[in-house]
Amino acid sequence: MATETQQQAPLTHDAEPIVRDQLFIGGEWVDPLGDGTLEVIDSTTEKVMGRVPEGTAADVDRAVAAARTAFEVWSQVPPFERAQACLGIGMKLAERGEEIAALVSREVGMPIELSAQIQAGLPTMDFMCMPDAVDATVWEEQVGNSLVVREPVGVVGCITPWNYPLHQIAAKVAPALAAGCTVVVKPSEVTPLNAFVLAEIVESLGLPPGVFNLVPGLGPVVGEAMAAHPGIDMISFTGSTRAGKRVGEVASATVKRVALELGGKSPNVILDDADLMKAVPDGLGKCFLNSGQTCSALTRMLVPRERLAEAEQIAAAALPHFAVGDPLEPGHTLGPLVSEAQRERVRGYIRKGIEEGAKVVAGGEEPPEGLAEGYFVQPTVFSEVTPGMTIAQEEIFGPVLVLMPYDDEDDAVRIANDTIYGLAGGVWSGDEERARRVARRIRTGQVEVNGAAFNPLAPFGGYKQSGHGRELGKFGLEEFLETKAIQL
């Protein structure tokens, strides 16, 4: 691995493939026990951009053993010192921000300017905010004759997705380490390269061996082994609701704690007194971020029935401003989807919407003009979508927005809550108090009012089949703590 340390990811699709041939276990780069490899595809060129080892259940055993040994040491380190280690990781991530942004832009397809802010910026913040989270945590308190103390849950298995790959790792690893836990990380097999940058940083800072372990691999192999492992005390999983159900099922055999951040079909309720010229373009942006590959994307725009035609016109006029193209070339708002499988999935949903009678306002299943190569999909807007349609209920995970008419405020709330999901939402109104009142009625873990910005320190997580548990800031740290009463 020595030749790969500090390897830069240049702003080109023509770089030599990045070859990672070892796992990071017990503070060392070690050879995998299996001989399989996973190819990483550049989403713009459809060509191989890297390779990583395909981990096995035996590799998980090694990583868990290292994490268990490290836990005895790391859990006794004072919280302030653990938080300082996280701060150090965050500072090193910031130093390599340009490399991370370019790497994730190639893996996932997010345009480079956004990737620098989000794909590189959020992981940095996830780690750097840990000192404040530790300060805000009540580590012990007196309750009658009991001393109530908060202790780390133990060894945590972190299973993460491909859409915000390093952020989703950091949102688990940072609070887990700050809490005193040790971790075994399985990054998505689709976008694993960025995780090796984090492993290099952990190695460079000299944390106790085994505090952080990296085992890439396939979900049915490495993920299943982690969920079932009796040496893992908690699983923190982000991904599809289908996969999350399987993780919970397997993990239940050892009664380990499970935190799940799953899918979404988030409503954006535009009330009858809202400014559509502001609300509709903002809603398009919130739906199309990362080419729609965002679990909390506001994919259902609920509009008063009498203003539906107006909303359609505004959406159609705004769509040309969402430029689609090579994510490494400045000026593009949308890049490709992450993979061929994802592109075909999204095209299938567009066809389904047409078959079920939804009105196509703009876009469609054909690739954007001049972009036959790469996993590109046209940003697409449907209207006259009813709650019973497939595109109103299922998570598409692509740049597809549905406009849904409603009759009155109660009808809007009913439609907003009429899915199995409950991750995020939005409300627009000329009266902020009215917007807040409606926001309280929406059964989701987050609701933004009048286009308010995402807050990376606020709790993030879902109701219903969007999962359970919360991530980010002090709320994320609390997920990795046990509560003990010591009677005095």
Residues annotated as part of the active site? 261, 295
What residues are paired with 149 via a beta bridge? Answer: 140, 484
With the C-alpha atoms ordered 67, 73, 75, 79, is the resulting torsion angle positive or negative? Answer: negative
Q: How far apart are CA 107 and CA 99, in angstroms?
A: 12
Length of the chain: 488
What residues are paired with 405 via a beta bridge? Answer: 303
Q: Are 107 and 40 in contact (CB under 8 A)?
A: yes
Q: Are 455 and 470 in contact (CB under 8 A)?
A: no
Using alpha carbons, select from 112, 123, 124, 116 the residue that is nearest to residue 11.
112
Tell me the two tokens of residue 394.
């299922």
Instruction: Render 5-58 in DSSP notation, one character per residue.
Output: TT----S-S-SPPEE---EEETTEEE--SS--EEEEE-TTT-SEEEEEE---HH
Q: Are strands 28-30 and 448-449 parallel, antiparallel or unpaired?
A: unpaired
What residues are paired with 40 via a beta bridge? Answer: 50
Q: In what order do the strands lie in the sheet with 426-428?
A: 359-362, 380-383, 400-406, 300-304, 267-270, 426-428, 448-449
Backbone angles phi, psi at 72, to 5 degrees: -60, -30
3-state secondary structure of 212: strand
Q: How far apart are CA 52 and CA 340, in angstroms?
A: 19
Backbone angles phi, psi at 351, to 5 degrees: -60, -40
Backbone angles phi, psi at 238, to 5 degrees: -125, 130
